């Protein structure tokens, strides 16, 4: 435990008893950096952004190394719980269930948060939702869940995959009813919850991006390419996990036809289970010299990835928002995307790019060429930037603060005293351990 973390912990109980004017926010998440995924990145930006705005923020998440630890970083106290590898995902870890409910209940008791904000319905987030309810603390839940993003790694037979997805949605909806307020990243994601059986209101709140970090810099394109070892020619880029649900093979299959008319290359940023399979596919299609696997790119270097590109391409059918697409748009890149889930909300046909039917390689090829050969390519990039500007992360942070205040004000005791009249800790721990 770091000295900074120790100082925060020794002051937690005092802060909880004395109230105070700063919002105390406990964020519970089952994925957090160094995990590489959109939900983990969003939660990190949410926590650090709220802390920068003067809130007292604690995050409870799984340990990256297996052992429990308390850390202090970027103005946020991290409570990392003992973890183990996830069977259905090669890189993620999950909290060991034994003792999680009791640990989270004790954390809620000591920290006395004004709001618990859970990011999923899995082990840690579920424990936090229930601990918050037992303590009388308002609970906000943001849903990032898509079964395709989880079970794609489980190699289940088709029928079993469908059954598992149905059961997973049913479980998610059941847990969602325990929260006081539910948000999703997009309107399409909110509609999806309704389609799956959730009947209460859901508010779309964009994950948001840092518009200042991701800015158009076309004059630096050649230098940026050199920095990543890319030849100085037209470049399509994809950023994300190289896993089955991202359907990157479609981009590689389309590349030979596009290369017949354009001197173009594809840069893939990220790692994943399909990397070697995708390398073989590039060789089989004769474009191994045009497909570049850049691997994991540190967050501080990520803006340059988009600067190096002429356009962004994504074939995923499981995006509830797609932060990578927003980052590319903020950098001024036209986009070609699969016509699936939330992507049509970002890509306006003919304005900032084009959509194609998932799996239709011919249509994908035509759309890629339409962007690359269009005299309006620069205008499309400008349109992307304008659309991205409606997703400023500062607006998202402000809206979440308003939601926190809204759920707090709905509890008279909380509004009057700064914290709720609390269930006795010993009793609550017994209830939580039994949950």
Domain assignment present for 150: yes
**Do 94 and 194 belong together in one domain?**
yes
**Do 427 and 291 belong together in one domain?**
no
**Do 31 and 66 belong together in one domain?**
yes
C-beta of residue 47 within 8 angstroms of C-beta of residue 76 = yes
Per-residue pLDDT, 13? 47
Per-residue pLDDT, 433? 38
**Do 186 and 227 belong together in one domain?**
no
**Do 148 and 276 belong together in one domain?**
no
C-beta of residue 384 within 8 angstroms of C-beta of residue 333 = yes
Per-residue pLDDT, 213? 95
Domain assignment present for 48: yes
Collapse the DSSP code of 55 into the 3-class scheme (helix H, G, I; strand E, B; otherwise coil) and give the result: coil
Q: Which of 245, 379, 375, 227 is nearest to 309 (CA)?
A: 227
Provide the greatest CA pair distance for the chain: 71
Worst-scoring range by mean pLDDT, 7-21, 22-36, 278-292?
A: 7-21
Q: What percent of the chain has pLDDT over 70?
A: 82
**Do 180 and 267 belong together in one domain?**
no
**Do 153 and 163 belong together in one domain?**
yes
- Whether the link from the prior residue into 34 is cis, omega within 30° of 0, is yes
Domain assignment present for 254: yes
Domain assignment present for 264: yes
Collapse the DSSP code of 287 into the 3-class scheme (helix H, G, I; strand E, B; otherwise coil) and give the result: coil
Total count of domains within the chain:
2
Domain assignment present for 286: yes
The confidence band for 132, taking pLDDT boundaries of 50, 70 and 90, is: very high
Residue 337 belongs to a domain with what CATH number? 3.40.50.2000
* Residue keyed to tokens 């290369």: 259
Alpha carbon of residue 260 to chain centroid = 36
Dist. CA 280–CA 271, nearest whole Å: 15
C-beta of residue 345 within 8 angstroms of C-beta of residue 204 = no
- Mean per-residue pLDDT over the chain, rounded: 87
pLDDT over 70 at 90, yes or no: no
Q: What does pTM read for this prediction? A: 0.83
pLDDT over 70 at 95, yes or no: no
The confidence band for 39, taking pLDDT boundaries of 50, 70 and 90, is: confident
Helices (H), 112-196: 123-135, 147-151, 158-176, 187-195
In this predicted model, what pLDDT tens digit does every residue of 254-305 receive, in sequence order? 999 999 999 999 999 999 889 999 999 999 999 999 999 999 999 899 999 9
Q: Which of 196, 193, 142 is nearest to 167 (CA)?
A: 196
pLDDT over 70 at 172, yes or no: yes
Per-residue pLDDT, 34? 86
Higher pLDDT, 258 or 62: 258
**Do 373 and 427 belong together in one domain?**
no
Domain assignment present for 162: yes
Domain assignment present for 213: no
Residue ranges making up the domain that contains 416: 3-208+392-434
**Do 385 and 397 belong together in one domain?**
no
**Do 292 and 232 belong together in one domain?**
yes
Helix (H) or strand (E) holding 142: strand 139-142
Let me know how long the chain is: 435
pLDDT over 90 at 429, yes or no: no
In this predicted model, what pLDDT tens digit does every residue of 393-415 receive, in sequence order? 999 999 999 999 999 998 654 43
Domain assignment present for 74: yes
Per-residue pLDDT, 435? 40
pLDDT over 50 at 188, yes or no: yes
Per-residue pLDDT, 217? 97
The confidence band for 341, taking pLDDT boundaries of 50, 70 and 90, is: confident
**Do 130 and 165 belong together in one domain?**
yes
Question: DSSP E strands: which ranges in 46-91?
Answer: 56-62, 69-73, 76-81, 83-85
Average pLDDT over residues 59-85: 87
Worst-scoring range by mean pLDDT, 87-91, 131-135, 192-196, 338-342?
A: 87-91
Q: Which of 293, 300, 301 is nearest to 272 (CA)?
A: 293
Dist. CA 133–CA 186, nearest whole Å: 26
**Do 178 and 318 belong together in one domain?**
no
Average pLDDT over residues 43-66: 93
Residue 392: what are its φ and ψ, rounded to 5°? -60, 125
């Amino acid at each position: 435990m770091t000295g900074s973390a120790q100082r925060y912990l020794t002051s937690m109980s005092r802060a909880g008893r004395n109230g105070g004017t700063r919002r105390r926010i406990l964020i519970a998440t089952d994925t957090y950096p160094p995990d590489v995924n959109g939900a983990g990145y969003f939660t990190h930006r949410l926590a650090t952004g709220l802390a920068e705005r003067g809130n007292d923020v604690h995050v409870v998440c799984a340990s990256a190394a297996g052992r429990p630890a308390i850390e202090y970083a970027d103005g946020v106290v991290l409570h990392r719980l003992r973890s183990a590898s996830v069977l259905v995902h090669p890189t993620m870890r999950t909290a060991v269930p034994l003792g999680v409910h009791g640990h989270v209940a004790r954390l809620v008791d000591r920290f006395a948060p004004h709001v618990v904000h859970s990011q999923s319905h899995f082990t840690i987030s579920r424990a936090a939702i229930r601990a918050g309810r037992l303590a009388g603390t308002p609970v906000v839940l943001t849903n990032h869940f898509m079964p395709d993003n989880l079970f794609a790694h489980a190699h289940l037979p088709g029928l079993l995959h469908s059954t598992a997805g149905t059961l997973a949605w049913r479980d998610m909806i059941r847990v969602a009813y325990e929260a006081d307020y539910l948000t999703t990243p997009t309107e399409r994601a909110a509609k999806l919850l309704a389609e799956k059986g959730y009947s209460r209101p859901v508010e779309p709140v964009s994950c948001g991006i840092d518009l200042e970090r991701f800015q158009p810099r076309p004059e630096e394109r050649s230098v940026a390419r050199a920095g990543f070892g890319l030849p100085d020619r037209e470049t399509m880029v994809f950023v994300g996990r190289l896993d089955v649900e991202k359907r990157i093979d479609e981009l590689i299959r389309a590349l030979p036809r596009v290369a017949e008319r354009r001197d173009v290359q594809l840069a893939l940023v990220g790692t994943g289970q399909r990397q070697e399979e995708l390398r073989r596919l590039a060789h089989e299609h004769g474009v191994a010299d045009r497909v570049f696997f850049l691997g994991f790119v540190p967050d501080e270097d990520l803006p340059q990835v988009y600067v190096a590109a002429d356009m962004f391409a994504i074939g995923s059918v499981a995006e509830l928002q797609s932060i990578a697409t927003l980052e590319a748009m903020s950098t001024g890149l036209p986009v070609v995307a699969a016509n699936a889930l939330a992507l049509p909300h970002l890509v306006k046909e003919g304005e900032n790019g084009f959509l194609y039917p998932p799996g239709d390689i011919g249509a994908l090829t035509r759309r890629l060429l339409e962007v690359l050969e269009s005299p309006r390519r620069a205008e499309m990039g400008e349109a992307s930037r304008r659309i991205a500007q409606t997703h400023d992360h500062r607006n998202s942070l402000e809206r979440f603060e308003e939601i926190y205040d809204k759920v707090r004000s709905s509890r008279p005791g909380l509004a009057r005293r700064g914290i709720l009249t609390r269930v006795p800790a010993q009793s609550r721990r017994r209830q939580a351990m039994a949950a």
